Structure 1
Amino acid sequence: MTEPTPDLSAPAAGTDEPGHPTDLLDLTSEAFDFAREGDVERLTARLDAGVPLGVTNDRGDTLLMLAAYHGHASCVKALLTRGADPNQINERGQSPLAGAVFKSAQDVIDALLEGGADPAAGSPSAIDTAVMFGKTDLIKLFGAE
């Protein structure tokens, strides 16, 4: 016997739209997933539904940190445009820019710098990370040669 297919056309319990949760915790959890996945449309929809820009997960990572670390420049730009803090560090002292440097995500690095990210923020900073991995082009970009 097969399981019936859920009817997503009807509002589910705890929702006011078909297939869309309204509980802020659910929305926030989804926002973190969408930042990791690079789904800018669904991420911004969760922000429009009330998820705060500065919300952090259990590791102190913001939506911006996750989008930056996973290399999603479109999400990074959308979050920065909405006012996300490009220098908010996580519980390990890392900044979104340092995460992007670690992952060699140049489009994310450019977006963060345009959005006001400080290469010296955090520990290790983006500068420290560039030095650690011998990324001389980034060291020069950060003016730390």
Structure 2
Amino acid sequence: MAREGNASTLAAYLDSGAPVDLTNQAGDTLVMLAAYHGNASTVRSLIARGADVNRANDKGQTPLAGAVFKGSDDIVEILVKAGADPTAGTPSALDAARMFGKDEYLSLFGA
């Protein structure tokens, strides 16, 4: 549901007690899947329900780094406003922005 962007159905599950930081076998949280697949409304919904925006998956990747990798401007901004740390993870969102020449992200990150 997070991957497909079905925010309303996912919200109903979460509101019924499903853990907001539920992970798959790779350690990807719901917010990571939503961010990576460009589902801004789902990312907002998960953040509003307390999702950890800095939780890395088993490879050390954070939702913010995934959004930078995918070039999802709106999601990068949403995550930063929610307190995502651009230096967290491996590679970090900051490293990814430098690697891909995303100067607008570097500016947003204060780098």
Q: Give the TM-score normalised by structure 2.
A: 0.97
Q: Alpha carbon RMSD of aligned pairs, Å?
A: 0.7
- Greater relative contact order, per chain length (Cα 8 Å cut-off, separation 6+): 2
Gaps of 5+ in 2: none
What letter matches 2:24 in structure 1?
Answer: N
Q: Which of 12, 33, 41 is the aligned partner of 2:8?
A: 41
Shift of 1:110: 1.0
Query: Paired residue for 2:65?
Result: 98
Cα deviations by residue, 1:43-71 (Å, 9 ceiling, x for unpaired): 10111222101111000000000000001
- Paired with 1:81 and 1:40, the residues of 2 have a C-alpha distance of 12
1:136 aligns with 2:103: yes
Query: Paired residue for 1:9?
Result: none
Figure out how many residues of one structure are paired with residues of the other and give that number.
111
Query: Paired residue for 1:117?
Result: 84
Cα deviations by residue, 1:68-101 (Å, 9 ceiling, x for unpaired): 0001110001100110000000000000000000
Shift of 1:136: 1.2
Query: Paired residue for 1:71?
Result: 38
Q: Which of 85, 89, 94 is the aligned partner of 1:127?
A: 94
- Percent identity between matched residues is 58
Q: Which has the larger radius of gyration?
A: 1
Shift of 1:141: 1.3
Is the deviation greater in 45-54 or in 110-119? 45-54
